[in-house]
Amino acid sequence: MKIIVCGGGSVGKSIVSYLVKGNNDITVIDNNQRNLDDISQEYDVLPILGEASHPDILEKADAEHTDLILAVTDCDEVNMVICQIAQSIYEIPHKIARIDSEEFLDPLWGFLYNEKHIPIDLIISPNIEIANAVISILKYPGCSGALPVFNGKSCILSLKLHENCPLLNIPLMQLARIDNDLDISFVNVSRGTECFIPEVYDTLEKGDEINILVKKEDIENVIRSFKLEKPANERVVIFGGNHISLFLGQKFENDDSIVSCKIVEENIDAARKLALELHHAVVIQGPMMSDIILKEAGISHTDASIAVTSNDKDNLLASMLASQSGVSSTVAVVNTPSYNNLIANIGDNILIDRSSVIISKILKEIRKTKIHKAYSLNRGQGEMWEIVLDEENPAVGKKIGELGLPKLSRVFAIERQEKIIYPDPTTTLENGDRLLLYMDSGVIKQVEKIIK
């Protein structure tokens, strides 16, 4: 697939880091040479310096033969213009635009985004998506991720196991006997650098990161079963004053379960802007590594810290300092390549992979299968798809074992007539089934050919 990414900042780089794993021909356009140098040194892309909203620059990027364009610059209006030119002049079939402004996202103006007006096929709002990921984690203390599936009735819950977990070293087939209330389905297990789909005779080990399917009403009980429960997140400190922290601050101000929210930002202009837009959240201006600032933020009495600056190392360091100060839930937003070498030292700090969050939003557009919902898991090591089968799908009437799915993939759950089924290879697929399918990143193209 030939893809043009317009904007080489943190969002564009996150997208490129994922797209290069596939067989894609990628061009990146940016008006900042430093951004282009950073991306081209790390990834095999064609960098073009210039304004992506100018037709001659898009022509230089061979827009005429492009399958997908992603307009993800920092300016909403520029992204809209890029999509308009991509449609009007070059007829690029798929157009995705980053829109951050609340005014543009207001449902009142939703009718604007179509071929008759502003031709955008998919709108993404990375800051809002990341903020929502943070909120979902804070909602269930003890988990490191909660992704809704089956229309929100269930979640893919991410857990990191400790040595005190009572379910370690027990074959998975026996877990339900030990804990009768444990009604879950395993998606995958990440152990060190290895990520695999567990079999019924496999066991869990200390340090494993697991993804499991859990009914929404059972989430808190499951977290307790794995001995991962933590205090409710009532007092929150946010490191970094940007759009993510603004959105979080607004949400927390309207959340009765949040007792206090404090935001630490070093830049005085950014801090002043936040203070004007928020009503109850406390904005503290100063360096976030300062003992005086941390004391003023009340870090030792905080339940959860959230680091959302644009610098990965700052976010990791802030989380580690918060953890040392006794904060029970620490969250850091990062781009995968920046922390690969540090991952063994993060302890219990929760990482939100910026690229996974953003890519999860656009997977439906870049995959050749009709997908209802999709997520990138384990820092891009695999994907989870939610697919609804209709009567025309060739999989209907076949047993799962007859589909020919590759070894590193599995249908791990089916919703059929409001009931959840944990299938095996002998399960026959029916019209209307809603499948949850996990696959390793290396077999995605094989799965696409089978599940069309």
Prediction pTM value: 0.88
In a domain, 163, yes or no: yes
3-state SS, residue 245:
helix
Hey, what are 352's tokens?
């939100």
Mean pLDDT of all residues in 422-444: 94
Could you tell me the CATH number of the domain that includes residue 265? 3.40.50.720
Nearest to 420 by CA among 386, 394, 378, 383: 386
Query: Do both 211 and 239 map to the same domain?
Result: no
Query: Do both 243 and 334 map to the same domain?
Result: yes
Adjacent-strand bridge partners of 421: 414
Summarised one tens digit per residue, pLDDT across range 189-224 is 999 888 999 999 999 999 999 999 999 999 999 999
Query: Do both 28 and 60 map to the same domain?
Result: yes
In a domain, 357, yes or no: no
Residue 180 has a pLDDT of 78
Query: Do both 23 and 87 map to the same domain?
Result: yes
In a domain, 355, yes or no: no
Query: Do both 416 and 340 map to the same domain?
Result: no
In a domain, 10, yes or no: yes
In a domain, 37, yes or no: yes
Domain count, the chain: 4
In a domain, 136, yes or no: no
Least confident among 10-24, 57-71, 332-346, 368-382:
332-346
Q: How far apart are the two ends of the chain, measured CA to CA in Å?
A: 17
Length of the chain counted residue by residue: 452
pLDDT at 115 over 90: no
Indicate the pLDDT class of residue 338, thresholds 50, 70 and 90: low
Adjacent-strand bridge partners of 215: 154
CA distance 303 to 280: 18
Query: Do both 6 and 119 map to the same domain?
Result: yes
In a domain, 152, yes or no: yes
Could you tell me the CATH number of the domain that includes residue 165? 3.30.70.1450
Query: Do both 13 and 68 map to the same domain?
Result: yes
Residue 335 has a pLDDT of 75
Domain boundary pick from 203, 225, 247: 225
Indicate the pLDDT class of residue 345, thresholds 50, 70 and 90: low
Query: Do both 217 and 246 map to the same domain?
Result: no
Q: Which domain holds residue 63?
A: 2-124
